[in-house]
Amino acid sequence: MKELDETKSWIIDTAQTVIKHVIENGAWQADVRIEYGENYLTRFANSQIHQNVGETYTKAFLRVFLRDKRFGCVTIISRDIDEILKAADQALKIAKASKPDPFFKSLPEPDRILPTDRKMFFEEMIRLTPFDRAEIVGKVIDAAHEAGKHVSAVNGALSTVLRLQAVANSLGVNVFQAYSFASLNVLVTAKNMQSEAEGFAYRVSGNLKEINAEEVGFEAGERASSGLDAKKIEPGDYEVVFLPYATATLMFHLAIDTSARSKDLEVSSLINKENKKVLHEDISVVDDPRSEKTPVPLLFDGEGVPKKRLVLFDHGVFKNFVYDSYYAGKEGKKSTGHASFWRHASPFPSNLVFEPGNSKLDDLIEDTKNGILVSRLHYSNTVDPRRGIITAMTRAGTFKIENGELKYSIKNMRFTDSYHRILNSLSILGKDLRSMVVRRGFITAPSIKVNSVKFVGTTG
Amino acid sequence: MFDLMEKAVEKGLLLGATYIDIRVVKNASEEIKIKNGAVEEATIKTDSGFGVRVLKNGAWGFHSSNKIDKHTLDQVVETAVKIAEASATRSKKPVKLAPVKTIKDKWRTPWIKDPFDVPFKDKLELFLEADETIREQSDYVKVSMVSYEARKIHKWFVSSEGSKIEAEIVFCGVGVSALATKNGDVQRRSLPTSFGGNYVKRGWEYVQSLNLVELAERVGKEATMLLDAKSCPSGKTTLILDSSQLALQIHESCGHPSEADRVLGTEASYAGTSFLTPDKLGKLKYGSEIVNIVMDPSPEKYPEALGSYKYDDEGVPVKRTYIVKEGVFTGYQLSRETAVELGFEESNGAMRADNWNRIPLIRMSLISLEPGDWKSEEIIEDTKDGIYMETNRSWSIDDKRLNFQFGCELAWKIEKGEKKELLKNPVYQGITPEFWGNCDAIGKDFFIWGIPNCGKGEPQQIMWVSHGASTARFRNVMVFSGR
């Protein structure tokens, strides 16, 4: 801990030194983010560890603005103050050679960060050894194999992340946070004489201790085992039960559309839809770092602006885009605290929560007459951004539901449809929540049952 | 540098490693983005560090740091060895590496004007002119963008088998795009291609060789024209793809599935596996007889291709390999480890890492569809009824690389051998071997496209790759409108 305390002091002091340096050398405004990170990732495939990697780094991102709104940015990975100051001089040089950006108004003023009762940094995560990680992976592999005799390969990754971050700017912002999290993704393959199937499970938590490795392995193993002997069904319009992992992918596309950058680029399906009902009335989505449902509370954004609860969808009504200071200034608004850590002008939600309902997964299945259970989506992409049309393949557990019962496993299918249309056809909200790491934030979502998704193709 | 690295290799061997390699990488990159007359991004990135990969007890360990000094190197080697020991506790069979000859060499890519020596103001002047030209084309153009990136990499490789390799790499690329809107419809047009433009292993002279302002005029005009175009019709038809879209088709449906790590399941949990399983090698009819797809990143032959290089990040010299020969699936992209597992005598040199803090993975290099003997206009003239599509707009493919769907920026209805009508929102989909099996004409307008942003692995790595392709025709393909 002593080393981390020293690192904390170093990044806070360095942030101040850098700001002072660029202001003394002609910058009108400036901000800097400095991050120290320790990341470890143990990958396993074919039921053994095959990649096992680690990194430590100190990274800084600095922006300088001149009075006439010319600006320059530098990113440097270094813990050498001379190198960082040299990079800062380079940012000034770029700014002086640049052209004014009339849309830039100002960096944010300091604001009070609301405290949180939640613990963000777990000391025990520092003390984890490669052998501890290998032991956890072993538990996952063993549990997955115990889930079914046809389990042939257990694949996935266990990742642990520690971050110490400071953000400072020339207007007085000076904030620090330290947080940790661990994630575990497991994809199990089962095989019999005739077929092969996959099952997936995922967990993320601020503390690795809270992830039950056996449970994750077993969940993926069980789903893979029950997916064998898949049948091919015709594409068409089906009712769908999306498990939380799949719902989170739909939420990711929705999150992209809530960014003020997507709006500015005219590629958001939510343009001109503020305060209009765009999704089913049971759907409420918030970005809330203090929600108990989000794995790690991120208290401020890349510009040091405090994060507060922001309602994105209230009972289906679209309420807010997310802003950083650049897009907020451009539209004469206030930043919502969603600046990117490593990019200029690229806001994105970081603690997205799709509020759950009260129904069990069984209720969602029982409500389905002729439908498909989708465990996970693979390689989703936007087809028509203004209409929210996306395409994706189902993966790792796709099952036919008939008359309220899971009937049989089916081959993976492709849908191409508008997520607005899909989410407007919501029938039941599940109460089971799962979180995923997305970009540098988290998306938490429940299972949902929707009445209509257009499938356009099948594999196999 | 080599002395410091060799001492660390010795340290690893003393700690019981049976193999160790160290890569030191120094990077510089410059990104400039112009949007609607404003400089949206003007960023210089610099970093340097090293990565240590060791084999001990038959298992891999890797660790890295951005602090390059003897003390840190020793610490990182120790940690990498410990990680390998931990990996071995859950390892079923020991890793074996295919042999490689010892290499002592230094090589560099062929740039003339170092992009980092060109004054920022000169770059900006050109990009701002292009950006303004885009918006001048019509009032419907709401967003004009110019994207530019240059990168300079200096790397050193040392292995416990005696190899010492130094490489200096420079690449850059640029692209222009326009977004036009009318009545809620948005149409995008990008040149030379979409998602940031085209990239090559050349210096600033490449940017100067493109007539950026002329491209800017085209994107502005074509995005506006697309607003009034009809939507692409639905149904099975003859599809003609331009070389830029075909490059992405090769990338997704041939490049990724022929990566040996995917085939052996080690990318299963993230990117997926492959339908090109070992039992199909030499047997599977991947495409029609005119389809020849080859991996050939040789810098002697293609010095400017973004994906070309002399040695991979295992110190293996690159080797030309047919992935598909006369329509039959014939080869993989290999590492030393997967070469042994799949029964090959040697690796063909496909292992690359995107930086010092990442392990090498099997990555595409230069994978190309060999040209045919048709002129591109002859393919159109020879087509009675069909759709021609150009420039990628969206992509998606399943985990085994069979079921794909691509959207393009622009299409033309072909009737009686002529481009008759402009179409918007074109999308096509298919199943890989059926699609390539229906390829009946390949042009000789061969062009190598550079893609700087192929993602793979956990933690994710972004790699620069390239694909040579020509205009080509495919029969009986499902097309529809993406609206």
Residues B126 and B236 in one domain: no
Structure tokens at A305: 């602006």
Contact across the interface for B268 and A43, Cβ inside 8 Å: no
Instruction: Name the minimum distance, in Å, from the CA of B439 to any CA of chain A.
Output: 20
- Is the domain of B161 the same as that of B240? no
- Domains held by chain B: number: 2
- What is the Cα–Cα distance from A12 to A19, expressed in whole angstroms? 11
Residue of B nearest to A44 (CA): B266
Query: Does B306 lie in the same domain as B370?
Result: yes
Q: Which of B228, B261, B281 is the last residue of a domain?
A: B228
DSSP structural state of residue A17:
H
Residues B45 and B185 in one domain: yes
What's the pLDDT band for A3 if we cut at 50, 70, 90? Answer: confident
Tokens of B209: 């060789």
Q: What is the mean pLDDT of residues B426-443?
A: 98
Q: Are A347 and A327 in contact (CB under 8 A)?
A: yes
For B153: left if phi > 0, alpha if psi spans -120 to 50, otherwise beta; the answer is: beta
For chain A, positions 154-183, list CB contacts with chain B under 8 A. Answer: 155-157, 159
Mean pLDDT computed over B209-220: 97
Residues B60 and B198 in one domain: yes
Q: Which domain holds residue B431?
A: 231-481
Segment B306-322, tens digit of pLDDT? 999 999 999 999 999 99
Sign of the alpha-carbon dihedral angle for B384, B385, B388, B394: negative
- Whether B136 and B83 map to the same domain: the answer is yes
Q: Which of B41, B66, B483 sits opposite A387 (nearest CB)?
A: B483
Question: In chain A, where are the structural domains located?
Answer: 2-226, 237-458
Residue A457 and residue B63: Cβ atoms within 8 Å? Answer: no
pLDDT at A150 over 90: yes
Q: Annotate B415-439 with DSSP letters as a single string.
A: ETTEEEEEEESEEEEEEHHHHHHTE
Query: B68 falls in which pLDDT band (50, 70, 90)?
Result: very high
Q: Which of B176, B201, B228 is the last residue of a domain?
A: B228
Contact flag B42-A73 (C-beta cutoff 8 Å): yes
Q: How far is A138 from chain B (nearest CA, A)?
A: 6
Amino acid, single-letter form, for residue A446: P
CB contact B243 to A (< 8 Å) = no
What 8-state DSSP symbol labels residue B280?
Answer: G
Instruction: Name every chain B residue with its beta carbon within 8 A of the beta carbon of A159.
Output: 458-459
> If contacts are CB pairs under 8 Å, which of residues 9-38 in chain A contact chain B?
none
pLDDT band at A460 (very low <50, low <70, confident <90, very high): low
- Counting DSSP H helices and E strands in chain A, the numbers are 9, 17
Q: Does A129 touch chain B (CB under 8 A)?
A: yes
Q: For A266-294, what is each residue's pLDDT tens digit? A: 999 999 999 999 999 999 999 999 999 99
User: Do B409 and B339 have their domain in common?
Assistant: yes
Name which of B182, B186, B231, B269 to mutate to probe chain A: the one with the most chain A Cβ atoms within 10 A of its Cβ.
B269
DSSP states of B388-417 = EEEEEEEEEE-TTS-EEEEEEEEEEEEETT
Q: How far is CA B136 from the centre of its chain?
A: 33
Q: What does the mean pLDDT of chain A come to?
A: 95
pLDDT at B43 over 90: no
Residue A454 near residue B483, CB atoms below 8 Å? no
In this structure, the answer to whether residues B302 and B346 fall within a common structural domain is: yes
Burial of A403 (0-12, 13-18, 19+ CB in 10 A): exposed
- Helix and strand counts by DSSP (H, E) for chain B: 10, 24
Q: Provide the H-helix boundaries in A41-120.
A: 81-97
Q: Cβ B85–A95 below 8 Å, yes or no?
A: no
Cα Dmax for chain B: 73
Global pTM value: 0.94
User: Which of these three, B228, B262, B281, is where a domain ends?
Assistant: B228
Tell me, yes or no, whether B361 and B222 share the same domain: no
Question: Does one domain contain both B218 and B363?
Answer: no
Among A53, A153, A392, select the one facing B265 at the smallest CB separation: A153
Interchain contact, A75 vs B84, CB within 8 Å: no
Compute the average pLDDT of residues A28-32. Answer: 98
Contact call for B396 and A393, based on CB within 8 A: yes
Q: What is the CATH number of the domain that holds B124?
A: 3.30.2290.10
User: Is B68 an interface residue toward A (CB < 8 Å)?
Assistant: no
Cβ-based contacts of B402 with chain A (< 8 Å): 459-460
First to last CA, chain A: 54
- A·B CB contacts under 8 A: 253
pLDDT value at A96 more than 80: yes
Contacts 24+ apart (CB under 8 A), B277-282: B278/B342, B280/B329, B281/B329, B281/B330, B281/B331, B281/B332, B282/B328, B282/B329, B282/B330
pLDDT digits (tens, 9 = 90+) for B351-396: 999 999 999 999 999 999 999 999 999 999 999 999 999 999 999 9
- List the 81-120 stretch of A: residues with Cβ below 8 A of B: 83, 87, 90-91, 93-95, 97-99, 101-103
Return d(Cα B276, Cα B257) in angstroms, integer.
Answer: 6
Give the closest of B44, B84, B90 to A141, CB-based: B90
* B436: pLDDT strictly greater than 80: yes
Max CA-CA distance within chain A? 73
Class of domain A2-226: alpha beta
